Amino acid sequence: MKRVALRMVAVIVALSICLAPGAWAAEKDNDDNLASNAGLGVASFVCSVPYGAVKVAVAILGGVIGGFTYVLSGLDRGAANSVWYTTMGGDYIITPDHLRGKKDFRFMGVPPERPRDGQQ
């Protein structure tokens, strides 16, 4: 139990360190500074490595759960698609534009709207 708590604290500290350059860059918003761009590039890479691993794991798990949803819902593709789009969609890497706040960041995707009964 102590190990789990220690790992959670390490993840929180790592995320705090990764998000700090984003807050700083959002305040500055100076695109011609080479050091700032390099720092944001490194920060986006450092943040993308653990985030990408978690995102891929969520996508794989969502693919499996979506398959079960498809079978258990009586082969309803719409139900399975809502699971697949939600878990497999979204951003897989963190870019400098995400850290600057110029681009919205989405962990989960958005399923397409299903037509209501009687609507096309």
Q: Taking the domains of the chain in order of start, what are their residue ranges?
A: 2-100
Check pLDDT > 60 for residue 26.
no
Give residue for tokens 């079978």: 71
Split at pLDDT 50, 70, 90, the class of 7 is confident
CA distance 66 to 89: 13
Eight-class DSSP state of 67: H
For the chain, give me the number of helices (H) and strands (E)? Answer: 4, 0
Query: Mean pLDDT, the chain, as a whole number?
Result: 80
Q: How much is the pLDDT for 33?
A: 80
User: Do 48 and 94 form a contact (C-beta atoms < 8 A)?
Assistant: yes
Ranking 19-28, 53-62, 79-88 by mean pLDDT, the lowest is: 19-28
